[in-house]
Amino acid sequence: MTAALQALEKLRLPLRYDLYVEGQFVKSSSDKTFTCINPAKKTETIARVAEANVEDAKHAIDIARNAFDHNRGNWVTDYKLREKVLFKTGELIRENLNYIALLETLSSGKTIRTSTRADIPRTADIFEYYAGLAGKVHGESFYLRNGDLSAIVKEPVGVVAAIPPWNFPLVIAARKIAPAMAVGCTVVVKPASYTPFTILEVVKIMEKAGLPKGVLNVVTGPGATVGMELVRNPKVDAVTLTGETSTGRMVMQEASSSLKHISLELGGKNPQIVYDDANFEEAVNGVVFGIYYNQGESCGAGSRLLVQDTIHKKFVERVVEKSKRIKVAPGIREDSDMGALISEDQEQKVLEYIKSGKEQGAVLKAGGDKLHEPGLEDGFFVAPTVFDGVTRDMRIFQEEIFGPVLAVTPFKTEEEALELANDSVYGLAAGVWSRDPAKALRTTRGIKAGTVWINTYYLSPVENPWGGYKYSGLGREFGLEALDEFLETKVVYFDTSGAVHKPHERLVIKE
């Protein structure tokens, strides 16, 4: 039996989680709870979680506001403390990696390999990276022409509302929380309701790492009420949300009444362009990985394959062959390549898109169905699916499916490839496969997307800013740029000159 299955046997389900406010785990004021199920086995309840309401959200905001305004525990001013807490958090996440990975897989359906080898170590990386930056946020100063001194200082924006989605619950929560906390903000997190509790495990770790009370608060509950309160409440200074483009649009509208800072990481319909001079086998692997990683439930999924007509037939055959060999199994199994989709709704949505692909005339080459084999019948499993002959007018070309469905469209020329790639409201990421560096760079330059991978896919280290063009969002996470989302700029003007030309001389008041 694998380590993950052994650990699962020891877990006493359902787990129970409360809200985390002012350094304490507390029940919701209504005492209500909601349940989280295992998407790979829908009859299994894995957790009961406190369901916050608007009053709880208001209270958590007040606590974070107070912690910021009164510099609780010296959080806002003491960068050494912030560095220590964030760094220790990263270290303790690594020490508890297997346990957290197990919970992440149980709630999200993703494979244990993804959780243990990618998501949880990556979460630790994020905390450590931003720990290192806590003491390195500087402005600049210079003398003006008249000899006066300008000091441009950076200050934390204040209270941040962080609203992550369910597909990478911890990685995305961390990439909001860690930079915000590194610069001295206080935070209220509202996790997605399918996957609300791994962040609460991290909070336990953060307490051990020395987190002062009130600096980080977690309210679990519905987006439409609790999330919306965080977006509307004038005591919140910044909102950072990852979710659907429609949610982002609503957030932008609602946050406008109090003119908050907003950063939005939204949907994607990312093209992978394969030229006929690409390394064939590497490109096939990149395309297969690009669509099926995390069950295709990824904003960065390479869901549109644009392949040059000269290799189109052979390339699709190979992709199909590999798609059929993907092992779909409960994520908890070490040999699972692709786990369950998050929910019945998501499964229905994906199956609807498959139906629309068939109806609109795309050619189904692999998959296309829900899987009912023994071991899968209780979960939300859809087969790795490939459609060829996809044209721009089809929904599966234009809309984000968020599942394991690849849409293939052949192209003839570089110009056509670019035109197809940019024929999307989204602009998050793209892949370009070619052995000709000049061609690859010309294509890269023409693509309207926040990230372009050349001869690889999905690599997104914490140092590289991540975010989208067009409907894929606003602002950037990761890298140094993420810090800007949580900073204000203050100019300090210091009169050093005793100068002759004082501005007030422009207004002469007669005695």
Residues that bind ligand NAD (CB under 6 A): 163-168, 172, 190, 192-193, 223-224, 227-228, 231, 241-244, 247, 250-251, 265-268, 299, 400, 402, 428, 468, 472-473
Q: How far apart are CA 489 and CA 85, in angstroms?
A: 25
CB of 261 to ligand NAD, least distance (A): 16
User: Cα–Cα–Cα angle for 317, 323, 326, nearest 5°?
Assistant: 150
Q: Which is nearer to ligand NAD, 79 or 458 (CB)?
A: 458
CB of 406 to ligand NAD, least distance (A): 16
Burial of 262 (0-12, 13-18, 19+ CB in 10 A): buried
Q: Which is nearer to ligand NAD, 212 or 243 (CB)?
A: 243
Q: How far apart are CA 231 and CA 220, in angstroms?
A: 15
Residues 6+ apart with CB under 8 A from 66: 72, 214
Q: How far apart are CA 279 and CA 116, in angstroms?
A: 30
Only one residue has tokens 């009444």, namely 257
CB of 410 to ligand NAD, least distance (A): 26
Q: Which is nearer to ligand NAD, 61 or 172 (CB)?
A: 172
3-state SS of 188-228 is EECCCCCCCCHHHHHHHHHHHCCCCCCCEEECCCCHHHHHH
Q: How far apart are CA 17 and CA 195, in angstroms?
A: 12
Catalytic residue among 83, 299, 347, 477, which?
299
- Of 166, 151, 161, 165, nearest to 186 by C-alpha is 161
CB of 341 to ligand NAD, least distance (A): 11
In this structure, the chain runs to a length of 511
The DSSP bridge pattern shows strands 487-494 and 159-163 to be unpaired
Burial of 276 (0-12, 13-18, 19+ CB in 10 A): middle
Q: How far apart are CA 328 and CA 335, in angstroms?
A: 9
Q: Which is nearer to ligand NAD, 103 or 241 (CB)?
A: 241
User: Cα–Cα–Cα angle for 133, 138, 142, nearest 5°?
Assistant: 160
Q: Which is nearer to ligand NAD, 111 or 303 (CB)?
A: 303
> For 338, which DSSP code?
B
Q: How far apart are CA 422 and CA 76, in angstroms?
A: 43
Q: Which is nearer to ligand NAD, 111 or 167 (CB)?
A: 167
Q: Which is nearer to ligand NAD, 223 or 410 (CB)?
A: 223
- Of 34, 183, 51, 30, nearest to 107 by C-alpha is 34
| Torsion angle of the four alpha carbons 355, 358, 362, 367, in this order, in degrees rounded to the nearest 10 | 70
CB of 248 to ligand NAD, least distance (A): 7
Bond into 14 cis (ω within 30): yes
CB of 281 to ligand NAD, least distance (A): 29
Only one residue has tokens 């798609």, namely 323
CB of 6 to ligand NAD, least distance (A): 31
Q: Which is nearer to ligand NAD, 266 or 383 (CB)?
A: 266
Catalytic residue among 83, 229, 265, 477, which?
265
Any catalytic annotation for residue 321? no
Q: Which is nearer to ligand NAD, 83 or 119 (CB)?
A: 119
Q: Which is nearer to ligand NAD, 364 or 474 (CB)?
A: 474
CB of 473 to ligand NAD, least distance (A): 5
Q: How far apart are CA 81 and CA 330, in angstroms?
A: 41
Any catalytic annotation for residue 36? no
**Cβ–Cβ < 8 Å for 283, 315:** yes
Q: How far apart are CA 34 and CA 47, in angstroms?
A: 8
**Cβ–Cβ < 8 Å for 21, 63:** yes
Only one residue has tokens 């501005």, namely 503
- Of 357, 317, 360, nearest to 369 by C-alpha is 357
CB of 400 to ligand NAD, least distance (A): 6
CB of 349 to ligand NAD, least distance (A): 10
Q: Name the 3-class secondary structure at 292.
A: helix
Which residue type is seen at 144? Answer: L
Query: Phi and psi of 178, rounded to 5°?
Result: -65, -50
Please identify every residue annotated as catalytic. 265, 299
